[in-house]
Amino acid sequence: MLHRRELLKQSGLVIPLWLAGGLIPGRNAFAADSPDMIVHGRVPHNSETRLNRLIESWITPNDLFYVRSHAPVPQIDASQFRLTVEGEVKKPLSISLAELREGFAQRSVVATLTCAGNRRNEHSAVKEVSGVQWQAGAIGNAKWSGVTLADVLNKAGLKEGAKHVWFEGLDQIERSGGVIPFGASIPLEKAMSEHGAMPGTLVATGMNGQPLPPDHGFPVRTVVPGFIGARSVKWLGKIIVSDRPSPNHYVATAYRLVEESTPESWAAASILYDYPLNSVTCLPSQGAQLKPGPVTVAGFALAPANAGQTVRRVEVSADGGQTWSHAEFSSPAIPFCWRLWSVKIGIDRGTTELVVRATDSSGEVQAEKVPWNLKGYMFNAWHHTKVSVS
């Protein structure tokens, strides 16, 4: 069967997806209607990629890329748009899109973005967690282009007290009667860092050679390689340099690992920045009916990269973790990027599940189990795929 995109192409009906999506506020018409996505909500739009489609390519196409939004897509007039830079800077800035394109060196970075809540349904299986019940498809790998946050901050000039950089979105999130923007902050060192040829943080205007689609932050977002998706703020309107982390809800009282919701436990838990080591089997699918004999198992793995780590090893077990087979990689070991892997493994009528775990280049191995937390973040225990063999 032809994929819908191919059909559109062949019928000559080529509508740029970011344009088509932009016609309907709050909704990317294509992605939300795609059979390749599991849609958790339309407005705000939350959808994840079906695992069989997710690993078809190392770069995730824009229309297959998961969407996690806390509010409808804000309507932004690109010709009037200004990104402001303020706080602990010598010269506050107000930057137009043209200035972003022409006044700074254009850079790009391939980086995997993943939601801290990816695999939340596995926390929920232990004890119900509220929030979007992500399976394992809230992840994708894209080539982001734009300018470095370091260049923007250097243009503004940092003052002595600069230690954290806050990001504020132009979206409007309703929370307990009030309306707040989505916010994040990152330590200044991450903002100013370079990892080889990779900028530590990007103020991005492009995704895989296209303008950012509305669902992914048009016209400007941050991309913070190695950090949980929540730090990559879409529809970026404001950058504030400060001596402390942002007081925004999504930094101050969300995205922390707590067991109960008390002011003390939120305050005691640290701010989540780096995503954890993870691996997931995408094929065969959950519940697949298989024949005895060799089966090809395939998926993705991702390593934290704060010290340059990459995925070193992926192992799959068909006997609950007693014996493991090493997977082969179809993509190189690049910091901040996932690796796709596959392995042929023998199964028989006694096989009930396939288990996968990864090891990173620092020797860290994924744990068999991980502690539960109230918001269901950072699930990264061994991934299990139930199968029936007959």
Ligand X SMILES: Nc1nc2c(c(=O)[nH]1)N[C@H]1C(S)=C(S)[C@@H](COP(=O)(O)O)O[C@H]1N2
Contact residues for Mo ion, defined by CB under 5 A: 68, 115, 229-230
Binder of residue 234, out of ligand X, Mo ion, none (CB less than 5 to 8 A by kind):
ligand X
**Interface pattern 221-240 for ligand X (x via CB under 6 A):** --------xx-xxxx-----
- Is 107 near ligand X (CB under 6 A)? no
Binder of residue 166, out of Mo ion, ligand X, none (CB less than 5 to 8 A by kind):
none
Nearest approach, Cβ of 266 to ligand X (angstroms)? 17
Task: State the chain's maximal CA–CA distance in angstroms.
Answer: 70
Distance CA 202, CA 159 (A): 21
- Cα–Cα distance list, 290 to 20, 22, 212, 354 (Å): 40, 42, 40, 12
Contacts to ligand X from residues 71-90, by CB under 6 A: none
Distance CA 220, CA 217 (A): 6
- Is 68 near ligand X (CB under 6 A)? yes
Q: 311: how many CB neighbours lie within 10 A of its CB?
A: 28
**Token pair of 366 as six digits:** 């994924």
Nearest approach, Cβ of 190 to Mo ion (angstroms)? 18
Nearest approach, Cβ of 337 to ligand X (angstroms)? 16
Chain mean position to CA 357: 20
Q: 242: how many CB neighbours lie within 10 A of its CB?
A: 18
Report the DSSP pairing between strands 383-389 and 288-290: parallel
Of 211 and 229, nearer to ligand X (C-beta) is 229
Contacts to ligand X from residues 6-65, by CB under 6 A: 65
- Is 70 near ligand X (CB under 6 A)? yes
Q: Residue 48 in contact with residue 132, Cβ under 8 Å?
A: no
Binder of residue 316, out of ligand X, Mo ion, none (CB less than 5 to 8 A by kind):
none
- Is 182 near ligand X (CB under 6 A)? yes
**Token pair of 141 as six digits:** 């790998």
Q: Which residues bind ligand X (CB under 6 A)?
A: 65-70, 113, 115, 169, 171, 182, 216, 229-230, 232-235
